[in-house]
Amino acid sequence: MKNLIQILERIDGKGYKAYKDLQGGYQFPLFKLLVDYVQGDPFATPSRIRIRVMQAHLKFHSDWIQTKVRQIALEDYLLRKWVKQIDQLSRKRGSGKSGLFTIDCPGQEILERTAVVVNEDFAEARISIGLPAQGRTVLGRQAKEMLVEQLPFLVKQSFFLNEEDLLKIERRMKLVDNQQAIRQEMSRQKWIAFIADGAILPRESGISDRPLQQMNVIPFQAPPTMKKVVKVPHGDSISGMAIPTGISLIIGGGYHGKSTLLRAIERGVYNHIEQDGREYVLTDPKAVKIRAEDGRRVEKVNISPFINHLPFGQDTKQFSTEDASGSTSQAAYIMESLEIGCSCLLIDEDTSATNFMIRDARMQSLVTKEKEPITPLIDKIQQLYKEQGVSSILVLGGSGDYFEVADQVILMDQYVPYDVTKKAKQIANDSIVERQFEGGEQFGKLTQRVPLKKGFDASKGKKEKMDAKGLHTIIFGMHQIDLTALEQLVDVSQVQAIAWMIYRVGELADGRQTLDELIEKVYTQIKTQGLDVISPYYGKHPGYLSLPRKFELAGAINRLRSLVIRS
């Protein structure tokens, strides 16, 4: 620490580059400060530092990190404390980002992240700091104030726990234990989704993921026939609606809460924080939201189960296009997800291509099967479940044709779900079947694709450039990857992680291993070495990363315009 003060006094008033002298480690009474990267000027990406406190000082309970889920929950809790403290303390002093502390900011989910790491030996926070300058002149006194006064205060407020923290952490441990217990019960019972009684599903707005805070919010209430009770390790058993494997429809009038229910199910692949309203809305982590996405690129995907004999005899076993239609994009999205091991399709009529979903009797008689390349999902959905074990949950308000193929039908009426399976089946049985089944003998073969290394070359002669730009874009060299259709991406830090992971997949690609194998390898690396490992700055401040699912990583790779698949 003395060392640090000396440097700051020495460089005071000098040019900004003098800050580079700070790089290195400094021992404070209670923590170690590691200055990993010093920015080049006050307007550039802020400097990156780590703060490490040994467990001897912290005395965290060892059972807080006894499972991975608990460890992530603890890290997330501490990160939120950092965010709060930094919000209160951080203020601009000088030009550019001078004087500002920043750290990764989590949303409603509890995700594995690099911002705070806790292990048996220490807790470490990775933060950014705008080293203060006036113009481009080092403000040594202000820097001293930040690093020698503010920083120890931040560390104390964030990492050192008070009585309230202890209670809250205990509560959180119980929450994630319960979430985990329900997930285990779900896989034992073969449920795709569980939506607890009392859950609050609607969100504040289209741009806010916080719970809708209104007098007239209707808490979720399971229909009696679908109600299940799950024993949890802490507190009373939890009851709710269990959606079993198979084909489930969510039907009902417009504006009655169908999409809201499906969206909550989509997000149930993640654990949510206390007071979110969806703490006990849990979904099979391999469920994938599928949507139409016209205009996207498709690279040699076998979409033949859904699309055949296209005009000009285009191959649909290795279908490529720079500009997919609604139906072909939706077919490609499904086939790409199956390739990575998806267990359940989540589909909303609002974001689907109608001609991919249905083809009714009248249309069948006018446009014969030979003239229609598309085999609609309705004729494939049962094969998908019976042969591939892949379930579906569909939101449909406009077509009763699906009653025939559904195993469960849930009616949303004024935000309240009803089990109308029997009625729907009866209607399907009573009405004369005019529709012809067009699905053929079998679902069809799934293809594993092998990506070539050259497709991952971001440089194209230029300096390699990769970055996340918000939630929906990755800059990949000359290209931009549009991630808008990956609706289960929730965090900018996931996008940043995906960018580095694509790079990793590209390194591993050898023209022999399949995309799924390559992706699996990256996740194995993360599992053994931690999420830090995908960062090019491994061993130092790794940047702000949070773990995406395999499906979102594959989704980004599949949307890479330079991707090349082996023929």
Q: Which residues bind ligand ADP (CB under 6 A)?
A: 201-202, 212, 217-218, 252, 254-260, 412, 415
Q: How far is the CB of 399 from ligand ADP (least distance, A)?
A: 15
The CB-nearest residue to Mg ion is 259
The reply on whether position 259 binds Mg ion by CB under 5 A is yes
- Which residue, 412 or 534, has its beta carbon nearer to ligand ADP? 412
Phi-psi region of 331 (alpha: psi -120 to 50; beta: other; left: phi over 0): alpha
What whole-number distance in Å separates Cα of residue 550 and Cα of residue 421? Answer: 33
- Our CB check for ligand ADP shows the closer of 217 and 361 to be 217
**Would strands 191-196 and 137-138 be described as parallel, antiparallel, or unpaired?**
unpaired
Burial (CB count within 10 angstroms: exposed 0-12, middle 13-18, buried 19+), residue 62 = exposed
For residue 332, which amino acid is it? A
CA angle, residues 562, 567, 324, in degrees to nearest 5: 50
DSSP H/E element including 249:
strand 247-252
**For every residue of 120-176, which 3-state class applies, written as one string?**
CCEEEEEEEECCCEECCEECHHHHHHHHHHHHHHHHHHHHCCCHHHHHHHHHHHHHH
Residue number, 245 or 259, with CB nearest to Mg ion: 259
CB of 160 to ligand ADP, least distance (A): 40
**What's the angle, vertex CA 354, arms to CA 351 and CA 356, rounded to 5?**
100
Residue 326 contact among Mg ion, ligand ADP, none, beta carbon within 5 to 8 Å by kind: none
**Binding of Mg ion by 387 (CB under 5 A):** no
Q: How far is the CB of 257 from Mg ion (least distance, A)?
A: 9
Which residue number, 154 or 265, has a Cβ lying nearer to ligand ADP? 265
Pick from 60, 75, 58, 73: nearest CA to 156: 58
Stretch that binds Mg ion, among 229-237, 242-250, 350-358, 550-558 (CB under 5 A): 350-358
Residue with smaller CB distance to Mg ion, 204 or 350: 350
Q: Rank residues 1 and 218 by Cβ distance to ligand ADP and give the closer one.
A: 218
Tell me the closest approach of the beta carbon of residue 348 to Mg ion, in angstroms.
6
Least Å distance, CB 345 to Mg ion, is 17
| Amino acid letter, residue 335 | M
Rule CB under 5 A: say whether 128 interacts with Mg ion.
no
CB 211, min distance to ligand ADP, A: 10
| Shortest distance, position 349 Cβ to ligand ADP, whole Å | 8
Short-list 266, 460, 434, 301, CA closest to 361 = 434
Binds 255: which of ligand ADP, Mg ion, none (CB < 5-8 Å by kind): ligand ADP
What long-range pairs does 359-362 form, CB within 8 A, spacing at least 24?
359/438, 360/399, 360/401, 360/435, 361/434, 361/435, 361/436
CB 447 within 8 A of CB 441: no
**Of residues 64 and 194, the one with the C-beta less far from ligand ADP:** 194
- Binding partner of residue 477 among Mg ion, ligand ADP, none, CB under 5 to 8 Å per kind? none
Q: Could you say which of ligand ADP, Mg ion, none residue 218 binds, taking C-beta under 5 to 8 angstroms by partner kind?
A: ligand ADP
Q: Does 350 bind Mg ion (CB under 5 A)?
A: yes
260 binds, among Mg ion, ligand ADP, none (CB under 5 to 8 A by kind): ligand ADP
The answer to whether the beta carbons of residues 448 and 339 sit under 8 Å apart is yes
DSSP 91: -
Return the structure tokens found at 250. Answer: 């969510």
Residue closer to ligand ADP (CB basis): 79 or 200 = 200
Q: Which does 256 bind (CB under 5 to 8 A by kind): Mg ion, ligand ADP, none?
A: ligand ADP
> CB–CB of 497/545 below 8 Å?
yes
Rounded to the nearest whole angstrom, what is the least distance from the CB of residue 250 to ligand ADP in the complex? 8
Comparing CB distances to ligand ADP, the nearer of 212 and 471 is 212
Question: Would you count residue 253 as binding Mg ion (CB under 5 A)?
Answer: no
Closer CB to Mg ion, 158 or 259, in the complex: 259
Partner whose binding site includes residue 443, from ligand ADP, Mg ion, none (CB under 5 to 8 Å by kind): none
User: What is the distance between the alpha carbons of residues 102 and 86, in angstroms, rounded to a whole number?
Assistant: 7
Q: Is 206 exposed, middle or buried (0-12, 13-18, 19+ CB in 10 A)?
A: exposed
Q: Which of 525, 550, 511 is nearest to 340 (CA)?
A: 550
* CA pair distance 20, 554, nearest whole angstrom: 39
CB of 196 to ligand ADP, least distance (A): 13
Name the binder of 451 from Mg ion, ligand ADP, none, CB < 5-8 A by kind: none
Q: Among residues 99 and 277, whose Cβ is nearest to ligand ADP?
A: 277
Query: What's the closest the beta carbon of residue 498 comes to ligand ADP, in angstroms?
Result: 28
- The nearest distance, CB 204 to ligand ADP, in angstroms, is 9
In the list Mg ion, ligand ADP, none, the entry touching 415 (Cβ below 5 to 8 angstroms by class) is ligand ADP
User: How far apart, in whole angstroms, are the C-alpha atoms of residue 63 and residue 492?
Assistant: 30
Question: Which residues bind to Mg ion, rule: CB under 5 A?
Answer: 259, 350
